[in-house]
Structure 1
Amino acid sequence: MLIAFNKPYGVLSQFSPEPGSQWRTLAEFKLPSKVYALGRLDADSEGLLLFSDEAGLNSRLLDPDAGHRREYWAQVEGVPSDAALKELARGVVIAGYLTRQCGVRRLDPAPEISPRMPPIRVRKTVPDTWLALELVEGKNRQVRKMTAAIGHPTLRLVRVRTGNFSLGSLAPGKWRELNATERAAVFA
């Protein structure tokens, strides 16, 4: 079984709570028993999280050498220059590691997505920009670290696609099992 879940802000990518944590867990969403998350999204990140009960899918989807694409939409502080976006696409050094090349483009107009609760902080004197980033790797908080490395911290981060499967209109906090065509799109 392969399940798509639209993880809301403030939810850990695990079923058990962290001691002393204020974050919610996956347990409240009544996913089928015996499924596990294929990858992770930080509690302050949102969007497409896949679940399966099939062994071996994690490495098939997450090994950077397999080149499996994931697209994120990042709302960043400020307006990155073309040179900054080229630097991001070539790879930036984060924590002593050079990230792999990635696809990056501005999203203009800004995407229409569900509002986040609580909303991001808004500064009247600092504009923001939405970027689409397509990566084949996913280190801890990588997109946030990458945008910060070019001087544009991430304010909101949403994973919208894995392979050729997009989140689409699946509402935050909802999940559904994928059909054969959608499953093939995940691995495309």
Structure 2
Amino acid sequence: MEASKSKHRHFVIYKPYGYLSQFISHDSKQQSKKFLGLLHDFPEGTMAIGRLDEKSEGVLLLTTDGKTSDHVNSGKVEKEYYAQVDGDISEEAIQQLKTGLEIGFEGEKYLTKPCKAHRLDGVPHLPERSRKIRDDRHGPTSWVSITLTEGKFRQVRKMTSAVGFPTLRLVRVRVGGFHLSALMQIGGVIEVDKLMEEDFD
């Protein structure tokens, strides 16, 4: 039987560095920016579920279904990030990330919720970023995994900066059950039949 024309469509993409997590802007200052529509011929009404800032990369879910978007943004779904930070991150800093700390949000102080965090052993296998990260001549860097269920604007960057280790590269590697491994080509797009609730467990 022919699929209904009203059937929703869903995508998982690897958002590249330098792209905005949107399709169009009416802000004249953003007209020279790169938008998601450059990556694929998405259907009308497609929206990003949550956002990654312009300098961040990784897993981004897209859908034409507002209800699915609301569920992912409800604070019940885990989002895991790999952050390359400036310096050799300490165990004390990791513990601060885990237990919660104050960051600035919309001009107010915000206490982050407890989260999962651990230092990665070595450098994770990720595609090379389009814009080079500074090299080791400027000092050591290290990698940390941070898993949140909340998602304030630039939260991971603000968290690592608050503990003294600013983020140099940020890659979201997982949203619920959707992993970056299936999208290892930067700009990769996969259409999925549906975004099931169990995919976010």
Deviation (angstroms), 1:90? 0.3
Equivalent of 1:177, from 172, 191, 200?
A: 191
1:25 counterpart = 2:35: yes
Q: Residues 55 and 113 from structure 1, CA distance in 2 versus in 1: closer, same or farther, beyond 3 angstroms?
A: same
Q: Cα RMSD between the aligned structures? A: 1.6
1:5 aligns with 2:5: no
Picking from 112, 132, 135, the partner of 1:119 is: 132
Deviations 1:51-104 (A, max 9, x none): 11112112211122xx21110000000011111110110011001100001100
Q: Which residue of 1 aligns with 2:100?
A: 91
- Structure with larger Rg: 2
Are the counterparts in 2 of residues 72 and 157 from structure 1 also a CA contact under 8 Å?
yes
In structure 1, how many angstroms separate the alpha carbons of the residues matched to 2:193 and 2:37? 24
2:47 to 36, 44, 55: 36
Residue 122 of structure 2 contacts residue 142 of structure 2 at CA under 8 Å; is this kept in 1? no
The answer on whether the counterparts of 1:23 and 1:43 sit within 8 Å (CA) in structure 2 is: no
Q: TM-score of the superposition, structure 2-length normalised?
A: 0.86
The AA in structure 1 aligned to 2:119 is R
Deviation at 1:20, TM superposition (A): 2.6
1:116-166 residue CA offsets vs partner (Å, 9 max, x unmatched): 011112251410011110000000000000000000000000011011221
Q: How many residues align?
A: 185
TM-superposed deviation, 1:183: 4.1
Unaligned runs of 5+ in 2: 1-8
Superposed, 1:1-188 pairs within 5 Å as 1-17=9-25, 18-21=27-30, 22-29=32-39, 30-64=41-75, 67-95=76-104, 96-170=109-183, 171-179=185-193, 183-188=196-201
Overall identity of the aligned pairs, in %: 39
CA distance in 1, matches of 2:43, 2:198: 22
Q: How far has the Cα of 1:179 moved from its partner? A: 4.4
